[in-house]
Structures are given as structure tokens and as C-alpha cells.
């Protein structure tokens, strides 16, 4: 309960910070929604030419892209520093968070909010609405799928960027991992062979961010629900464990710096 109150206070402060320049905030939100729409136009053109790809149609892509966009946006808004965690570690900026009586990892990743993420989050629901598969119970499954996709995505980024404890600067590696995760998550899972599917459920868990939650939105099954929950829990647990393992070898930056 104390952790939740702490997070709510941090998120409130982040919101006040990004809302300081309201016009810039609004432009970022709508700009990102337009950016997503332009990107998705490629899939609209593709499926206008090829009506179906191994059982996947345009409506399936609307749902999948919606979950990915909303999951990505949720992480950006609530845990925006997850994208900079490696830099925080490599530059010794964890000193500030270690000086506080709060969970270090949670405080670090929650201390920044990316305004444009709200555009991603909102666009995801628009995309789902345009899929032609909207129902009230489907919306509930969409919310569950989005939360699980966000958890897997955040955990994956924490895992990759925690490597900074051992190898230092992870900027290039993190960018590569981010692009791989987002790129492969949008593609129909039926396009890949068994080896590639294994990779997309483990090494780069893109299927747990896109295809599997989308499948859950299409139709409820306890098996799919268990898979997306288990996937999210396993990766979150692994991410927390790796971060704290690395924290044992963390070297101070010799100065407390407040994240801006």
C-alpha cells in the first residue's frame, strides 16, 4: 500500500511536470497518434493487396497493433526511465535513488514520464475500435492484454539495460533490443517457423507483447490467459533478479544527481 501511494505521488509529480507546457504536451500526444496512423497505413495498403496472410487479416493487425501501442504507451507514461536505465547505471546516477528509502528499481524507472506515450496509449484503443471486433468483454480482454504486454516490454528493457552493471554503456544494445522487440511484435506469428517462435517467446519475447495477447482478445481461453500472465510474471521476476544482482557490483558516481 505504501509503495502504491509512493507511485501515485511520483506519477502526479511527473504529470504536473509534463503539463507545465500544455500546448507542447498536446502536440506531442496528437503527433504520436498521427505517427502511429501513418505507420499503420503500410499494413492497410499491404492487406488491401493480400487479403490474408496465413490466417491473419487486417482486423487482426488492428488488434495486435492496438495492444502493442497501448502497452508501449503505458510503459512510456508510467515508467519512462526504463528507456534510460542503462545510462543511469553507467553514469553512476543511481546514487540519488539509493539515498532514498524506496525500492530502487521502481523509483528509478518511475521517476520520468514521456508525454508522447499518452498518444501511443490512446491510439491503441482507437486501433482496437477500428478492428471491427469491439465488444465490452473484448475490451476487458484488451485491457488485460495491454497490461501483460506492458509488463513484458518493461521487463525486457530492464533486463537489457541492467547489463550496464557488467558492460558499461548499453545505448546501442538497448536501441537494438527496443527496435527488435517492436518490429517482431507486430508481425503475424504464423509467419515464423518453430525455431523463430521459440526465440520470440524467450530471447526476444515479442510474441508475448503482440501475438499472444491479441489472440486472447480474439477469444477467451484459460490457457491463453495463463500463458500471458505467466510470461509477464517470469520476465518481471527475471528482470528484478538481474537488476539486483547487478546492483551488488554497482560503483558510485561519487555524487548525488537529481534526474531531470
**Radius of gyration (Cα) for the chain, nearest Å?**
19
pLDDT in tens, the chain (260 residues): 788 888 999 999 988 888 878 888 899 999 999 999 999 999 899 888 888 887 888 999 999 999 999 999 999 999 999 999 999 999 888 988 998 888 899 999 999 999 999 999 999 999 999 998 888 999 999 999 999 999 999 999 999 999 999 998 899 999 999 999 999 999 888 888 899 999 999 999 999 999 999 999 998 999 999 999 999 999 999 999 999 999 988 866 544 444 43
Q: Residue holding cell 521476476?
A: 237
The grid coordinates listed for 58 are: 487486417
pTM: 0.92
Kindly state the cell numbers that stand for 206. Answer: 515479442
The confidence score (pLDDT) of residue 101 equals 80
Q: Which three cell numbers stand for residue 36?
A: 502511429
Domain ranges of the chain: 2-247
Q: How far is CA 54 from the centre of its chain?
A: 27
Cβ contacts of 93 within 8 Å, gap of 6 or more: 87, 253, 257, 259
Q: What are phi and psi of 56, to 5 degrees?
A: -100, 130
**200-228 burial code (b ≥16 CB/10 A, e <16):** bbeebbbbbbbbbbbbbbbeeeeebeebb
Amino acid at each position: 500500500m505504501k509503495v502504491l501511494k509512493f507511485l501515485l505521488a511520483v506519477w502526479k509529480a511527473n504529470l504536473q511536470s509534463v503539463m507545465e507546457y500544455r500546448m507542447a504536451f498536446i502536440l506531442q500526444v496528437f503527433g504520436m497518434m498521427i505517427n502511429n496512423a501513418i505507420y499503420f497505413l503500410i499494413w492497410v495498403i499491404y492487406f488491401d493487396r493480400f487479403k490474408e496472410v496465413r490466417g491473419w487479416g487486417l482486423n487482426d493487425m488492428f488488434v495486435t497493433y492496438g495492444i502493442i501501442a497501448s502497452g508501449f504507451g503505458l510503459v512510456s507514461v508510467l515508467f519512462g526511465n526504463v528507456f534510460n536505465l542503462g545510462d543511469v547505471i553507467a553514469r553512476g546516477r543511481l546514487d540519488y535513488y539509493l539515498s532514498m528509502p524506496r525500492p530502487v528499481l521502481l523509483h528509478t524507472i518511475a521517476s520520468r514520464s514521456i508525454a508522447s506515450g499518452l498518444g501511443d496509449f490512446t491510439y491503441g484503443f482507437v486501433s482496437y475500435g477500428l478492428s471491427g471486433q469491439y465488444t465490452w468483454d473484448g475490451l476487458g480482454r484488451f485491457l488485460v492484454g495491454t497490461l501483460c504486454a506492458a509488463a513484458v516490454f518493461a521487463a525486457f528493457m530492464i533486463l537489457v539495460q541492467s547489463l550496464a552493471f557488467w558492460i558499461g554503456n548499453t545505448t546501442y544494445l538497448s536501441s537494438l533490443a527496443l527496435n527488435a522487440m517492436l518490429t517482431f511484435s507486430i508481425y503475424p506469428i504464423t509467419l515464423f517457423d518453430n525455431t523463430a517462435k521459440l526465440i520470440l517467446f524467450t530471447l526476444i519475447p515479442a510474441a508475448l507483447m503482440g501475438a499472444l495477447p491479441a489472440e486472447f482478445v480474439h477469444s477467451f481461453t484459460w490457457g491463453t490467459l495463463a500463458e500471458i500472465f505467466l510470461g509477464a510474471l517470469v520476465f518481471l521476476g527475471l528482470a528484478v533478479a538481474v537488476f539486483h544482482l547487478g546492483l551488488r557490483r554497482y560503483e558510485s558516481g561519487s555524487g548525488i544527481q537529481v534526474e531531470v
